[in-house]
């Protein structure tokens, strides 16, 4: 899923862009510290569909409102022009006297995307985002129109006369909620011990491991030979059950293990494992080879998954889809215990269970609230939600709305509200306003001054919306939209439409001494992405390439020229069964998405995956397995899973490559990553560099959250002066020219086309 905030800026840091685009509106009432327009309830303890967000300033105005993800427009309520009449329903002022204008423009988008796959079946999810209080809606935003992430919807409006604001909401129906969170949408006791591992169709973000009290521990770092329970005979145990969170993103390349008690309260962090992710391949290989014999029950690939995910996830639901991992494998990691001691613990101990952010664990705050049985009105009558907000030292506060309102913004409550998933009707449905808000007329302050109810009712009718689509009204499960965006920003799984958008629509390629323009039609991009989405996503997820959109950018920027836009899986396609024996690495031609080349590279990959040595033919006898069968025989006959897996393996196993990907997206970064793929050669010898550098600019706009409006961008770069090797003045003993070379040229200056890839 590709998702981004509704407001974008020209900042370069992705985390900066995310948080700036999700800035909450500060409180205007002394009765609470909560931001105005809070989720899931307002200061008056009424259900509130979304959150109020403040648009950042860009120049002299506010940032425009943009679609948070690809989707289809299903409803538009045009914004009414502001009027100066203080008695107008939209000029209602709940904070005092005088006019206080609230805009009523609204857009609703239906989103359909993927977050993973169960075997070969994609986990397809559908949800809705709504954008309320727009002051202007772009004329191109019409019902039925396909909209894309980052497309402009309109301008933010005023909420009670505060300009540049928006109410964003995210909702879904019960069927899709179960797909989104991977479990039944019901309340679960946060402190209950799990009885099975989390989902495997969707895995993203942080990893969470439940450790039972019986977990083996050791105060000293474990010897390399003690990575199997059959070889370790220690007697120390954890003693008290706890949780461990494995985070690979807080510091790029490093890993932080945080400990929590069974109530979800943080115990503390261990010292970060510096560069642990960058060295994951090396560590997995070391643990695999540490036990005698390296039996067929073990592979470095499966140990790699154990270290990254806490378990062997494989590529499908069956045992045959998994690379071999010993049944008694120990996952030693240094953790902090509930007593504050740092020890080595087996995170794969019997009785341990593993999860990810995709499981929306109750112990870290995610839970479903649907115990309000009076949903005919807008009042929150959820006992569980009131218990969450109430003061644990004052049991009576649960039944006192004033005390509850004062606690909504407190630091021990406010963060928890962001992880509530609540069932209640949409607040904008005009057809049910009378029933839902009638209780307001019974409030003491309104009974004393009935005119207040008249004004409030007039405002509700002016802001309420007629004709809301029934499927949107049926989507009565609501997420905190900012937290929803934060969580799913960690999901790097791309559906076929999102992947197709990563193919440059136009590009320039050096032909002899001139650049020639080429075009990739949408149908070509979509056909190839549909064919490759599943193996591509499984591989990028396994090796952490999908952990950040910047890594995906660098990876795909090299896959595109390596494979001729996902068309070439075998160097010198030998579909006819012939081999180019003149190649120095015959018969180990390049195969896969980032093409493995030479016997040594194939041997290392085969060892990592533990491919069985079944091939005894003279052609591949020194390898022991057939790369034509296991990876690619030709451009039409290939193993897509291994083509993708071997490419991401290359990224993980190549010392320094992932670190270079994480460094940035400047031209120097792209060239540094190119040298990992092509060898540390001089720049004129980097094949396909012209397309690689253009892809970085195109993918920056397609994948990252930066504003991307430009149609072209000027690019200057050093490379070869001719696409063909040229004769030099180097002579042999007889005075003949003996070799051709690529010759370096002064910088090329080209206008890179940035046309978006669209149907």
pLDDT tens readout for residues 416-468: 999 999 999 999 999 998 888 888 877 777 777 778 788 888 999 999 999 99
Question: Does the residue 4 lie in any domain?
Answer: no
pLDDT tier at 582 (50, 70, 90 boundaries)? low
Q: Are 587 and 631 in contact (CB under 8 A)?
A: no
**pLDDT tens digit string along 62-93?**
999 999 999 999 999 999 999 988 889 999 88
Tens digit of each residue's pLDDT (9 = 90 or more) over 100-129: 899 999 999 999 999 999 999 999 999 999
Residues in the chain: 759
Which token pair is 365? Answer: 């705050």
Q: Model's pTM, two decimal places?
A: 0.94
Q: Please write the tens of the pLDDT for every residue from 125-154.
A: 999 999 999 999 999 999 999 999 999 999
Tell me, what's the pLDDT at 374? Answer: 84
CA triple 348-351-352, angle to 5 deg: 45
Q: Which of 454, 488, 522 is the last residue of a domain?
A: 488
What burial class does residue 15 get, using C-beta atoms within 10 Å of its C-beta: 0-12 exposed, 13-18 middle, 19+ buried?
Answer: exposed
Q: Same domain, yes or no, for 286 and 430?
A: no
Task: Note the pLDDT of residue 441.
Answer: 79
Q: Does 509 lie in the same domain as 477? A: no
- In sequence order, what DSSP letters do the residues of 110-164 get, joined into one string? EEEEEEEEETTEEEEEEEEEEEEEEEEE-TT--TT-EE-TT-EEEEEEEETTEEE
Q: Most confidently modeled of 205-219, 386-400, 403-417, 573-587? A: 205-219
Is pLDDT of 576 > 50? no
Phi-psi region of 566 (alpha: psi -120 to 50; beta: other; left: phi over 0): left
Decide: 463 and 429 in contact? Cβ < 8 Å. Answer: no
Q: How confident is the model at residue 224 (pLDDT cuts 50, 70, 90)?
A: low
For 581-593, the three-class secondary structure string (H helix, E strand, C coil) is CCCCCCCCCCECC
Based on the domain organization, do 465 and 565 belong to the same domain? Answer: no
pLDDT over 90 percentage in the chain: 73
Asked if pLDDT for residue 577 goes beyond 50, the answer is: no
Separation of alpha carbons 720 and 452, rounded Å: 76
Contacts (Cβ under 8 Å, ≥6 apart) of 378: 46, 47, 427, 436, 437, 439
- Calculate helix-pair angle for 599-609, 640-653, nearest 10 degrees: 100
**21 inside domain:** yes
9: in domain: no
**pLDDT of 250 higher than 80:** no
Compute how many other C-beta atoms are within 10 angstroms of the C-beta atom of residue 716: 10
Domain endpoint, select from 311, 332, 359: 359
How many angstroms separate the CA atoms of 747 and 690, rounded?
A: 12
Task: Output the CA torsion sign for 133, 138, 142, 148.
Answer: negative
Residue 75's nearest CA partner among 468, 477, 461 is 468
Pair 232, 132 in one domain: no
Please report whether residue 194 resides in a domain: no
Residue 211 counted as domain residue: yes
Q: In the predicted model, is pLDDT for residue 575 greater than 70? A: no
Helices (H), 574-718: 599-609, 627-630, 640-653, 657-663, 667-678, 689-703
The reply to whether 545 and 647 lie within a common domain is yes
Q: Is the pLDDT of residue 619 over 90?
A: no
- Do residues 474 and 554 share a domain? no
pLDDT of residue 690: 96
> Residue 469 in 3-state DSSP?
coil
Chain center to CA of 592? 25
Asked, for residue 729, whether it belongs to a domain, the answer is: yes
Cα 691 to Cα 698: distance, rounded to the nearest angstrom: 10
What are the pLDDT digits (tens) for 707-737?
A: 988 999 999 999 999 999 887 776 666 666 6
Helices (H) and strands (E) in the chain, counts: 21, 27
Domain boundary at 605, 637, 669, which? 637
Residue 593 has pLDDT above 80, yes or no: yes
State the residue for tokens 């870290």: 364
Q: How confident is the model at residue 733, as a pLDDT? A: 67
Task: With CA atoms as reference, report the closest residue to 248 among 208, 299, 301, 199.
Answer: 208
197 belongs to a structural domain: no
Beta strand segments in 46-87, E? 51-54, 57-58, 61-62, 65-66, 71-77
**Which pLDDT value is given to residue 743?**
86
In this structure, the answer to whether residues 697 and 749 fall within a common structural domain is yes
Lowest mean pLDDT among 131-135, 234-238, 495-499: 234-238
What the block records as the tokens of 77 is 């309520």
Residue 228's nearest CA partner among 144, 169, 287, 149 is: 287
Token pair for 641: 């899973």
pLDDT of residue 94: 79
- Please say if the pLDDT value at position 598 is more than 50: yes
Q: Please tell me the distance from the alpha carbon of residue 184 to that of residue 182, in angstroms, as a whole number.
A: 7
Range of the domain at 389: 14-186+365-488
In a domain, 707, yes or no: yes
Residue 218's beta-bridge partner residues?
344
- H or E stretch covering 448: helix 444-448
- 267 and 291 share a domain? yes
Indicate if 729 and 645 belong to the same structural domain: yes
pLDDT of residue 152: 97
Torsion of CA 47, 50, 54, 56, to 10 degrees: 170
Q: Which of 678, 750, 713, 319 is nearest to 511 (CA)?
A: 750
- Return the beta strands (E) in 448-505 as ranges: 477-479
When pLDDT is averaged across residues 687-712 and rounded to a whole number, the result is: 95
Q: Facing residues of 46 across strands?
A: 379
Percent of all residues in the chain with a pLDDT value above 70, rounded to a whole number: 96
In b/e form, how buried is each residue of 386-407, taking b as 16+ CB within 10 angstroms? bebbbbeeeeebbeeeeebbbb
For residue range 9-49, what is the model confidence (pLDDT) as tens digits?
988 889 999 999 999 998 776 666 778 889 999 888 899 99
Contacts of range 371-374, beta carbons closer than 8 Å, 24 or more positions apart:
371/187, 372/47, 372/423, 372/424
* 38 plus 158 within the same structural domain: yes
Q: Do 733 and 618 lie in a common domain?
A: no
d(CA 629, CA 638) in angstroms, rounded, equals 7
- Residue 579 confidence (pLDDT) above 60: no
**With 80 as the cut, is the pLDDT of residue 296 above it?**
no
**Predicted pLDDT of residue 573:** 62
Q: Indicate whether 196 pLDDT > 90.
A: yes
DSSP 8-state code for residue 753: E
Asked if 623 and 725 sit in the same domain, the reply is no
The pLDDT tens digits of the residues spanning 303-361 come to: 999 999 999 998 777 777 889 999 999 999 999 999 999 999 999 999 999 999 999 99
Tokens linked to 335: 């953790």
pLDDT given for residue 205 in this prediction: 96
**The two structure tokens encoding residue 219:** 């105060």
Average pLDDT, the chain: 91
List Cβ neighbours of 233 (8 Å cut-off, separation of 6 or more).
Answer: none
Confidence at residue 550, expressed as pLDDT on a 0 to 100 scale: 96
Write the DSSP string, 3-19: ---SS--S-S-HHHHHH
Domain count, the chain: 4
d(CA 215, CA 55): 49
């Amino acid at each position: 899923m590709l998702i981004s905030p509704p407001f974008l800026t020209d900042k370069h840091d992705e985390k900066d862009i995310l948080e700036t685009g999700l800035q909450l509106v500060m409180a205007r009432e002394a009765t609470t510290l909560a931001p105005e327009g809070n989720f899931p309830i307002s200061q008056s303890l009424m259900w509130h569909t979304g959150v109020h967000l403040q648009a950042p300033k860009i120049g002299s105005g506010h940032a425009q409102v943009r679609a948070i993800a690809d989707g289809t427009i299903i409803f538009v309520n045009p914004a009414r022009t502001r009027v100066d009449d203080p008695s107008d329903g939209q000029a209602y002022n709940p904070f005092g006297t005088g006019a206080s204008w609230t805009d009523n423009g609204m857009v609703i988008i239906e989103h359909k995307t993927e977050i993973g796959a169960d075997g070969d079946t994609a986990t397809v999810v559908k949800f809705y985002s709504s954008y309320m209080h727009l002051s202007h809606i772009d004329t191109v935003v019409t019902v039925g129109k396909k909209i894309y992430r980052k497309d402009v919807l309109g301008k933010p409006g005023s909420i009670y006369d505060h300009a540049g604001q928006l109410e964003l909401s995210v909702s879904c129906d019960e069927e899709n909620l179960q797909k989104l969170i991977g479990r039944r949408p019901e309340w679960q006791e946060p402190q209950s011990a799990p009885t099975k591992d989390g989902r495997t169709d969707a895995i993203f973000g942080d990893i969470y491991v439940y450790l039972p009290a019986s977990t083996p521990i050791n105060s000293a770092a474990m010897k390399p030979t003690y990575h199997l329970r059959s070889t370790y005979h220690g007697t120390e145990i954890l003693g008290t059950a706890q949780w461990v969170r494995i985070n690979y993103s807080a510091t790029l390349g490093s890993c932080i293990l945080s400990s929590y008690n069974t109530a979800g309260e943080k115990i503390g962090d261990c010292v970060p494992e510096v560069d642990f992710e960058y060295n994951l391949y090396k560590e997995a290989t070391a643990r695999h080879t540490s036990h005698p014999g390296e039996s067929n029950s073990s592979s470095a690939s499966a140990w790699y998954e154990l270290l990254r995910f806490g378990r062997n996830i494989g590529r499908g639901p069956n045992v045959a889809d998994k690379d071999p991992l010993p049944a008694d494998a120990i996952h030693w990691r240094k953790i902090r215990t509930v007593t504050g001691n740092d020890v080595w613990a087996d995170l794969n101990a019997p009785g341990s269970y593993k999860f990810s952010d995709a499981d929306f664990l109750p112990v870290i705050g995610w839970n479903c609230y649907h115990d309000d049985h009076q949903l005919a009105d807008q009042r929150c009558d959820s006992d569980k939600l009131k218990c969450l907000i109430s003061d644990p030292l004052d049991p009576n506060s649960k039944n006192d709305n004033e005390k509850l309102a004062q606690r909504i913004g407190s630091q021990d409550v406010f963060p928890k509200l962001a992880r509530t998933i609540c069932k209640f009707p949409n607040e904008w449905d005009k057809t049910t306003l009378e029933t839902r808000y009638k209780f307001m007329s019974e409030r003491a302050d309104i009974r004393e001054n009935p005119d207040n109810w008249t004004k409030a009712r007039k405002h509700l009718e002016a802001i309420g919306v007629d004709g809301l689509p029934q499927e949107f009204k049926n989507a009565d499960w609501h997420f905190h939209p900012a937290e929803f965006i934060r969580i799913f920003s960690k999901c790097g799984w791309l559906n076929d439409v999102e992947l197709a958008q990563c193919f440059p629509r136009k590009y320039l390629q050096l032909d002899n001494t001139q650049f020639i323009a080429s075009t990739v039609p949408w149908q070509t991009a979509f056909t190839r992405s549909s064919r490759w989405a599943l193996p591509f996503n499984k591989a990028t997820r396994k090796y952490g390439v999908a952990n950040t959109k910047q890594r995906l950018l660098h990876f795909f920027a090299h896959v595109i020229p390596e494979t001729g836009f996902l068309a070439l899986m075998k160097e010198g396609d030998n579909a006819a069964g012939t081999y180019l024996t003149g190649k120095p690495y015959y018969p180990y031609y390049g195969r896969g998405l980032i093409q493995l080349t030479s016997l040594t590279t194939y041997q290392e990959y085969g060892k990592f995956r533990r491919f069985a040595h079944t091939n005894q033919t003279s052609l591949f006898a020194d390898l022991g397995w057939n790369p034509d069968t296991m990876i690619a025989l030709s451009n039409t006959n290939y193993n897509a899973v291994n083509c993708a897996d071997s490419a991401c393996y290359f990224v993980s196993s190549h010392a320094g490559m992932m670190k270079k990907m994480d460094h940035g997206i400047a031209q120097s970064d792209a060239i540094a990553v190119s040298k990992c793929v092509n060898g540390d050669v001089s720049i004129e010898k980097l094949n396909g560099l012209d397309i690689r550098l253009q892809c970085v600019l195109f993918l920056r706009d397609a994948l990252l959250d930066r504003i991307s409006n430009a149609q072209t961008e000027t690019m200057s770069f050093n490379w070869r002066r001719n696409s063909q090797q040229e004769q030099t003045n180097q002579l042999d003993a007889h005075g003949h020219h003996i070799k051709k070379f690529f010759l370096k040229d002064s910088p090329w200056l080209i206008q890179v086309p940035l046309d978006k890839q669209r149907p």
